[in-house]
Amino acid sequence: MREGHHPRHREVLEGFLNGELRDYGEAVEHRLRQLMKSNRPATMMEIEELKNMSYNMELRTTKGSFEGYIFAVKEGLQDVEAELRRMENVRNEPIYLHVKNTYNFRERMNGRGNMQEIQKQQLPTTMACNRGIYDTIKFRREVMREMFQIEQKKRIRGKGPDRGIIPAIHFPLNGGDVLEREPEEEMNKKPHFAVILEDERNVNPNMVREWRSSRYHPYVKRTVDKKIEWLTEDSAQVIYHHDKYLLYCEGVRLKNRVEKLGLSNVFVLREDSVEQIHKRSYHLALRALENYGAPQAWCEMRPFVLSATLPTELRHYSHKHFIYTPPTERLRISTDISWSRCENYTDFKIPMYSDRPYELWHNLILPRNICFDYIDNNIVDKVTEPELAKIVELASQEGNHIKCPCKPITPGGFANCFENSNCPCYKTNIMLRKLNSAENNKTVFNSFDPLEYNGDTPAYHNHGGFACSEICGCGGRCNNNALIIAQAKIFPTEIYRKSDLIGFRVRATSYIPAGTPVMEFIGELVRDRYVEGDALDYSMQLSDKMEDIKYLLALLAKEKVFPATFLKQLRQSYKEDVFLDCLHQGNKGRFLMHSCVANLEPVRIYQKSFSPAHAKMVMYSTKAIMPGEQLTLNYGSGYVGLDKVGCQCGAFSCKNGRHAGVFSKLSVHGVCFLADCFTAHQIESIREYEADREENNRKYGRFDVDLHRKDNIPNIESKPLVDRRRNNL
């Protein structure tokens, strides 16, 4: 027998073909027959391939039980100890994987006593193993851990960066892919957000709304390790995922939600004209070339010629390159990370998936950074940020906030606050246009019209708006509330990861028009002195004391919006930079990935008053976003995380791209050149979207669409790695 080959390969392969697995797929049967005809010993990689096939087959069974073929190491304490000793002796020599093809889950459960004894032994800490042995040993370790609820875990899963399962030659228990365990007192501390809720320390209202699921409160009280266990237990394998049908259904649910919220007459999923697309493309081209240094000098935008030919270097960067199509089999981590009740289109579920090809429910490793508490409004903790809490309290006093007495024309309708000279909120909104650096065509912030960026610099520092709120006579249901679409959460999304390098991302599952407020970026308001460590990677700067705020405060003083005493308090609140920290609590905005040509851009909108606690960071779409496209944000050249692994966005002007040398040499005229190319891409993507929409309507229009998103989950009684004990929650 040759080294590295299975000692009983003929018996194993015949067991596959003669067993019930042969009925589950012609492709698998064809692969097995190829191995049988090879007349040679099966290699370790081939045996590992068969093992992975078996897990996929078991998930497709409809018998309602988990009695398929389960592959594991030989049962029994003596055999396992002998195998591990042999691994320590041979180290880098090939290791034979002994497989028992009739090993049943119930039979393994009967041997739990032996496994418990194995856990008590001081097993070797270093062993030579290939990828197959790695997965096998890890599988056995997870079985023992979950079945017997061992409190002293020897390996902390997912701490630090999203590492996943790293193929390696050596598998030490305390290897390089495992970080130090946190102190026990830190692990057992009550979560920060749970303490804020219990002690009522948040001065911002509407933190936990009534639409929260009943499971939300037990979840937020758990420590990080307990949350990982919770999510691991809730994970499920999704089979036969049909992405085109999903995107069609999400589009139908989007229209139903718009109608349910009474927005169908005022909000339209419009498509831009060629002139509007070209104008947005010009803004994107300016932002793209900023990645290579100082902003490019301004040049006059030239008219777009529809028949222009794309250069060879840019054909690779069409919209298809940025649309993600998931595999047919996915690992669902959570059905809804927002914990919403989702009754009668009250909200969309935000599911989370892992699409890494080698990851199934039996080897799932969750990073600690996904165990955050989902919130729908910024937090201001009066204990850690007493100055911000004080300014919020002062803003509630008469004269220190702005509200309007406007009323809707019809009950349940929308008030006409925009362009109403008697509306204080509208007049404040117009006043903020003076912050816009553009001399003409100032940016307009209203409820339903698309936002157009007018200027050559990032929109965040010179674009701002003021919106009506719930304290107004209109209750915020008017045409002067630019937050109404973002806070209604009408656009469905999902969270997913497909590689170890980048981690989790956000994918749009419906069409999003250009210039639309897609979401808020939500977190806890903290001063810069609290932003350190991991919080640096999960924070966005809300205000900069050295740049934009001094112009805002000067404008408020000039227009005499507030009394002098309150204006002095506002200046005090801006003495330090304020950040939105979403490391431990936030929303789906924390999963937005970086892109050198992002399809989202943040804009600051105020409500009620002008303190940092009254500012909202809203993500507007810079272009039309297609169904299935990843949502991205430009972190800026100062983001330290980009220096660790290099940018992986794949955009046409990416500093890490294969054509970076071409774009870095573009002159001022290159702005118009890039704008033309980007316009051509946008026109092509919209045409294909319209064609796909018509085709999907013909194909799926006769089917009824479920009220909420559902996945195809196989009927499995129980998982061998999971012990479910939360039926009462």
* Structural contact between residues 55 and 90, judged by C-beta atoms closer than 8 angstroms: no
Rounded-to-integer distance, Cα 268 and Cα 263, Å: 8
DSSP 401-459: S-------SSTTS-B--TT-TT-HHHHHHHHGGGG---SSS-----SSSPP---SSS-H
Q: What is the percent of the chain with per-residue pLDDT over 70, rounded to a whole number?
A: 62
Q: Does 721 map to a domain?
A: no
Pick from 242, 238, 139, 114: nearest CA to 703: 242
Q: Are 381 and 514 in a shared domain?
A: yes
Using one digit for the tens of pLDDT, what is the confidence trace for 377-405? 999 999 989 988 999 899 988 889 999 99
Q: Does 132 map to a domain?
A: yes
Q: Are 18 and 135 in a shared domain?
A: yes
Q: Are 249 and 211 in a shared domain?
A: no
pLDDT average, residue stretch 118-139: 38
Q: Does 728 map to a domain?
A: no
Rounded-to-integer distance, Cα 71 and Cα 650, Å: 39
SS3 490: coil
Q: Are 585 and 629 in a shared domain?
A: yes
- pLDDT higher for 161 or 688? 688
Domain count, the chain: 3
Split at pLDDT 50, 70, 90, the class of 210 is: low
Q: Are 332 and 447 in a shared domain?
A: yes
Which pLDDT does position 105 carry in this prediction?
32
**pLDDT of residue 467 exceeding 50:** yes
Lowest-confidence pick of 144-158, 286-300, 317-331 = 144-158
DSSP 8-state assignment for residue 323: B
Range of the domain at 126: 9-147
Q: Does 166 map to a domain?
A: no
Q: Are 548 and 658 in a shared domain?
A: yes
Compute CA distances 311 → 49, 413, 586, 654, whole Å: 43, 50, 42, 17
Q: Does 640 map to a domain?
A: no
> Full-prediction pTM beyond 0.75?
no
* Structural contact between residues 455 and 438, judged by C-beta atoms closer than 8 angstroms: yes
Q: Are 286 and 205 in a shared domain?
A: no
Q: Are 202 and 335 in a shared domain?
A: no
Using one digit for the tens of pLDDT, what is the confidence trace for 64-118? 222 222 233 333 334 444 544 554 444 333 333 222 222 333 333 344 344 433 3
Residue ending a domain, choose from 98, 127, 147: 147
Alpha helices (H) along 61-191 = 77-90, 105-110, 112-120, 131-147, 184-187
Split at pLDDT 50, 70, 90, the class of 358 is: confident
Using one digit for the tens of pLDDT, what is the confidence trace for 422-434? 999 999 999 988 8
Split at pLDDT 50, 70, 90, the class of 638 is: low
Q: Does 719 map to a domain?
A: no
**pLDDT of residue 417 exceeding 90:** yes
Q: Are 376 and 455 in a shared domain?
A: yes
User: Where does residue 5 rank: exposed (0-12), middle (13-18), buried (19+ CB within 10 A)?
Assistant: middle
Lowest-confidence pick of 152-156, 517-521, 722-726 = 152-156
Q: Does 373 map to a domain?
A: yes
Q: Are 107 and 251 in a shared domain?
A: no
Q: Are 353 and 207 in a shared domain?
A: no
Q: Does 309 map to a domain?
A: yes
Q: Spell out the residues 6+ positions from residue 553 whose beta carbon is closer than 8 angstroms to its own.
A: 567, 570, 571, 574
Lowest-confidence pick of 229-238, 283-292, 414-423 = 283-292
Which pLDDT does position 167 carry in this prediction?
24
**pLDDT of residue 155 exceeding 50:** no
Rounded-to-integer distance, Cα 326 and Cα 215, Å: 28
* H or E segment to which residue 464 belongs: strand 464-467
CATH number of the domain that 325 lies in?
2.170.270.10
Q: Are 135 and 204 in a shared domain?
A: no
